[in-house]
Structure 1
Amino acid sequence: MAGAVQWIAESVHEILQAPGLTLQTFLVFCLAFLLTCALLRRSQNLPPYPAGRVPVLGHLLALGRAPHLKLTAWRRQYGDVFTVRMGMEDVVVLNGYTAVKDALVDRSELFASRPPIYMLDSIAGNGKDMVAARWGPGFRQRKRFATIVLKNLGMKVGHGSIEDNIREEAIRLRSRVAEYEGQPFDFAHDVTVTVANVICSMVFGKRYDYGDETFQELSKAVTAVVTELAAGQIISVFPVLRFVPGVNRAGTDLLQHVSKIHHVMWEEISRRREHLHRENPRDFLDFCLLEIDQQDKVEGLTEENIMYMAMNLFLAGTETTGNTLLWALLYLTQNPAIQHKVHEELDAVVGASLPALSHRPQLPYVNACLLETMRIRTLVPLAIPHSTTQDVKVQEFDIPKGTQVLPNLHSLHMDPAYWPDPDRFDPERFLDAEGNVINKPQSFMPFGGGRRVCLGEQLARMELFLFFSCLLQSFTFKTPEGAPPPNTEGVLGITWTPNPFQLCATPR
């Protein structure tokens, strides 16, 4: 050991004798060398890289604008588990039902954290929310508390359910669609308002009218946030770019739109503080503000946590359900025979009455249409990135603690081994030989699974069934005369969104 130390000291002395080389320069060189080694360090037993990796950018260029499609194509060549290089970071991709279920469900806690993602963290308070929060007691307490509160507010089937509120919104949506009198219209805004009003009634205890200026501004901000999050992915990969004028435009615009949403959230929290119902809490904000005072279930809960949690619920509860309804209607306009079967089933079971959750077991084809929509157009096809909570082995590979893991849900839902001819819209995939709906088929995880399963899954399923049933009971949806069929490719941002399209709704 003493000899080695002496050799290092002599070597450093000789290096410093080089012309023009100072100790300061040498130390800077060493630091740069160590940083480079750290950035380029790779586990010896990570899954393989696909072809197409380039220096600095990694696989970013190869992934293109539809990474879910590229990753699914690579699965056929590299298997269910491989590594993509996102800038200077290795990201392990899981494909197929076996690998994804193993991580998200069977060994959920080992994959339950979130990696640092600059753009996502910038709108989530660096983990002060529930969606982007790292794995730990704080996240677990907040999610458990939110789940209990939402159930108290009606996110359940049976007594005390929010079903009546959803049905009231369905009636308003039906009236709104009738106002177009069969003329072409863009359904996106109306669906957004309708779905948002359900979550707003639970979180804020209020609803918005279709023409409400505050909600229109809020809706524009939400749409912009989703758009800018997608456009700013390069900043998440290279956070230093947020300091580069021009390149940082997406990040700057994102923060401006987020601040508008924050402003509305803080106004609602302040208003609720002034009129807090301590004995009879009415909505999510009431329950949260009481918890701040009591510190009973969530240690250290703050108003800042509440603001980010409310924003999570609003964004996630609006964007995903609304777009699923749009996809469902888009596919029905292209498949009139399927739409006709939906009409027949609704007429036979529901008749002229308003659809209710009690009808759900008697409407297997209606349910199958919604399940098929969630399969063929998974709203978050690459899920929200996970991160390992400790060193873990996947197949024969070693995944270090803190590694970003990307579950490719699209690969599950388009796997021909489970879904023959997967690009064809066919609700009968979800019906058994007796015509009963198959609610939990294999290779189907539209809401994720395990510790990070979507908090609002039950609410989303209730809304989708009631809104879809009410609309199809009342209207026949068609593509406007002379217009080309809507594009089914869609646009992948944070969610997989249909391209703008118009419908005609003819009263039945």
Structure 2
Amino acid sequence: MDYSWSLALLGLSVVLFVLWWSRRRTPTTTRNVPAMPFISSLADAVEDFWITVDLFRAGLSQPHYMFNRFSQKYGPVFSVTLPYLRIVVLSSYEAIREAFQNQLLSDRPVIHVLKHGVKGHGVAFSSGETWKVQRKMVLNFLRAFGVNRSSFEEKIALEASHLNAELRQLDGRAFNPSHLFANAVSNIICSVVFGQRYEYSDPRFKKLLRAVYRNVAIIGGNTGPLQMLPFAYLLKPLIPVLKETEDNGKLINNFAKEVLEEHQKDFDPDNPRDFTDVFLRKMAAATTEGESDKDSNNNESILTVHNMCATASDLFVAGTETTSTSLRWGLLYMMARPDILEKVQQELDAVVGRGRLPRMSDKPNLPYTEATLMELQRVANILPLGIPHQASEDTTILGFDIPKGSVIMPNMWALSTDSKLWQDPETFRPERFLDETGRNVVKQEEHIPFSIGRRMCIGEQLAKMELFIFLTHLFHQFTIKKPDGSPPISFKGVMGVTLSPLPYEVCVIPRS
């Protein structure tokens, strides 16, 4: 039995004991969140045991599946109480919508390993005024620099052309698309945040990407819950991945700091080039013009170099991992469904033609293509457990009491596979997002790939633009085929922070 299995089994044993003991000594009322496992009888204990065994059979790689199983028994709101943490799992659209529109559930839990290793608070996992100030600045930057204008589209189209040039050099040979997609997408984020793109072979760039993807795998993997232990940093000598998480966080943060120092040499506040310059300008305004940037809770400045580096790192990590993972799923599904790819290509050829590449302005005239991208986001479900929230005060969800400090985890996978919401949810069928004529896209309220509420994805519009440009250019220029003799196509995901497809190879053949 390997290290992670041993650790997981030990942790599970402790958790089950604590759960049993807490249920034994705490009387239940109708207002309490149902706790898992609710061991009120031998039958309950046996049933919960076998559900847990199923989790271990899956190699702990499908926690969203396990939580969905428990929700069928305990309802759309139930809790898992760890020795140091209370997790409330939400498995219905009504529960998720109510929770994430509640101001008291807008905080983030602390990843203590990174907190002790990396100075500063970014926009992704900060809370309170620190989050509000930085979120407002990021949104203002995206609007000012034209996330819905041609300038952003040109950046993405340029990177898509670099990606397609790399693909043409393969001349139809089988390859694993992971690295190429990561390079392309991360260059978009580098261009937006740092003001430059990097060659795919740049050793500094490659080292940065390795750190990003390792942390994504570690924090979302078997040892992920350990990262939130208040004393996790003390366990680094005993658990190597905790130290690796911290080291990777420092590397990413230091990269942002080096870029910041380079920007300071020729910084012109009247002509900001990118997000780094915008942050520098806000810092200068807070210093010279007396603008308040203090957190009223501790009177500490929010607009600091450390916070800037943390926010830049957050944007880089989140923007790279989520979109590149979506692209890999897109290629995999089109390899498995050549019939759908052919329909997309027919629509692209009819609307765009062969003499130019697709543009965002073509999107309203490409309903089947847009529906295919929406269906891709539904079935791929790259964040099956979303991004956790935390209760800043005692509150309620669907009438259940939620104590202060509870971590709220939305089971987005349960939402996207709910047969009450989606007919034949396991089938890839773009038509579910089209009206009866097939000419108009139908939005579904329960389709929330970018989450919902105050902490929904801050880069939603940029991500949508990236997915559209990258995938339509790819489908317009190439036919996607499964390599001869390759293993059967699998849609089983690998759980990290995101749910990634298993490594695979594909052939992309230039279209005439």
Does TM, scored on the shorter chain, surpass 0.5? Answer: yes
Closer, same or farther in 2 for the Cα pair 1:264/1:359, shift >3 Å? same
CA distance in 1 between partners of 2:130 and 2:106 (Å): 13
316-325 vs 229-238, which moves further: 229-238
What one-letter code is carried by the residue in structure 1 that aligns with 2:393?
Answer: Q
CA distance in 2 between partners of 1:306 and 1:251 (Å): 24
SS in 1 for 2:220: helix
219-228 vs 468-477, which moves further: 219-228
For residue 424 of structure 1, report the CA deviation from its aligned partner. Answer: 1.2
Closer, same or farther in 2 for the Cα pair 1:162/1:237, shift >3 Å? closer
452-461 vs 421-430, which moves further: 421-430
**8 Å Cα contact 2:237-2:243 kept in structure 1:** no
What one-letter code is carried by the residue in structure 1 that aligns with 2:331?
Answer: L
Task: Indicate yes or no: 2:134 matched with 1:116.
Answer: no
330-339 vs 75-84, which moves further: 75-84
1:193 to 183, 186, 189: 183
Q: Provide the residue aligned with 1:498 in structure 2.
A: 501
1:487 to 483, 490, 494: 490
Task: Indicate yes or no: 2:201 matched with 1:178.
Answer: no
Closer, same or farther in 2 for the Cα pair 1:52/1:400, shift >3 Å? closer
CA distance in 2 between partners of 1:430 and 1:124 (Å): 43
CA distance in 1 between partners of 2:118 and 2:325 (Å): 22
SS in 2 for 1:366: helix
Q: Provide the residue aligned with 2:284 in structure 1.
A: 293
For residue 72 of structure 1, report the CA deviation from its aligned partner. Answer: 1.3
2:262 to 256, 268, 271: 271
Q: Provide the residue aligned with 1:101 in structure 2.
A: 97
Q: How does 1:8-23 map to 2 (within 5 A)?
A: none
Structure 2 unaligned blocks of 5 or more? 1-20, 40-44, 295-300
Closer, same or farther in 2 for the Cα pair 1:306/1:241, shift >3 Å? closer
Task: Indicate yes or no: 2:50 matched with 1:76.
Answer: no
What value does the CA root-mean-square deviation take over the aligned residues?
A: 2.4
For residue 125 of structure 1, report the CA deviation from its aligned partner. Answer: 4.5
Q: In the TM superposition, what whole-angstrom CA distance separates every residue of 1:200-255 from its partner, at most 9, and x where no partner exists?
A: 11111100112111111111111111122134324235454553466421101111
For residue 122 of structure 1, report the CA deviation from its aligned partner. Answer: 5.2
Q: In the TM superposition, what whole-angstrom CA distance separates every residue of 1:369-403 from its partner, at most 9, and x where no partner exists?
A: 11111111211111111112322222232112222
Q: In the TM superposition, what whole-angstrom CA distance separates every residue of 1:53-103 from its partner, at most 9, and x where no partner exists?
A: 89xxx9988853311111112222221111112344221111111111111
Q: Provide the residue aligned with 1:313 in structure 2.
A: 315
**8 Å Cα contact 1:130-1:143 kept in structure 2:** yes
For residue 129 of structure 1, report the CA deviation from its aligned partner. Answer: 0.9
Answer with 1 or 2: which has the greater Rg: 1
Q: How does 1:103-252 map to 2 (within 5 A)?
A: 103-104=99-100, 107-119=101-113, 121=115, 125=119, 128-134=121-127, 136-156=128-148, 158=149, 161-231=151-221, 232-236=223-227, 238-240=229-231, 242-244=233-235, 247-252=238-243
What one-letter code is carried by the residue in structure 2 that aligns with 1:80?
Answer: P
1:335 to 334, 337, 341: 337
What one-letter code is carried by the residue in structure 2 that aligns with 1:390?
Answer: E
Structure 1 unaligned blocks of 5 or more? 1-35
Among the aligned pairs, what percent are the same residue? 34
CA distance in 1 between partners of 2:275 and 2:473 (Å): 27
Closer, same or farther in 2 for the Cα pair 1:213/1:269, shift >3 Å? same
Closer, same or farther in 2 for the Cα pair 1:417/1:440, shift >3 Å? same
CA distance in 1 between partners of 2:306 and 2:133 (Å): 15
CA distance in 2 between partners of 1:375 and 1:318 (Å): 19
Closer, same or farther in 2 for the Cα pair 1:479/1:124, shift >3 Å? farther
CA distance in 1 between partners of 2:117 and 2:369 (Å): 36
CA distance in 2 between partners of 1:42 and 1:450 (Å): 34
CA distance in 2 between partners of 1:490 and 1:52 (Å): 29
CA distance in 1 between partners of 2:26 and 2:403 (Å): 12
**8 Å Cα contact 2:370-2:441 kept in structure 1:** no
CA distance in 2 between partners of 1:121 and 1:380 (Å): 23
Compute the TM-score of the two structures, normalised by the length of structure 2: 0.85
CA distance in 1 between partners of 2:304 and 2:467 (Å): 33
Task: Indicate yes or no: 2:452 matched with 1:462.
Answer: no
**8 Å Cα contact 1:103-1:111 kept in structure 2:** yes
**8 Å Cα contact 1:87-1:238 kept in structure 2:** no
Q: In the TM superposition, what whole-angstrom CA distance separates every residue of 1:423-454 from its partner, at most 9, and x where no partner exists?
A: 11111111111224535302211111111010
CA distance in 1 between partners of 2:439 and 2:497 (Å): 33
Closer, same or farther in 2 for the Cα pair 1:351/1:52, shift >3 Å? farther
What one-letter code is carried by the residue in structure 1 that aligns with 2:201?
Answer: G
Closer, same or farther in 2 for the Cα pair 1:409/1:342, shift >3 Å? same
1:65 to 34, 55, 61: 61
Closer, same or farther in 2 for the Cα pair 1:464/1:444, shift >3 Å? same
Closer, same or farther in 2 for the Cα pair 1:124/1:447, shift >3 Å? farther
What one-letter code is carried by the residue in structure 1 that aligns with 2:142?
Answer: L
CA distance in 2 between partners of 1:366 and 1:120 (Å): 40
Q: Provide the residue aligned with 2:409 in structure 1.
A: 406
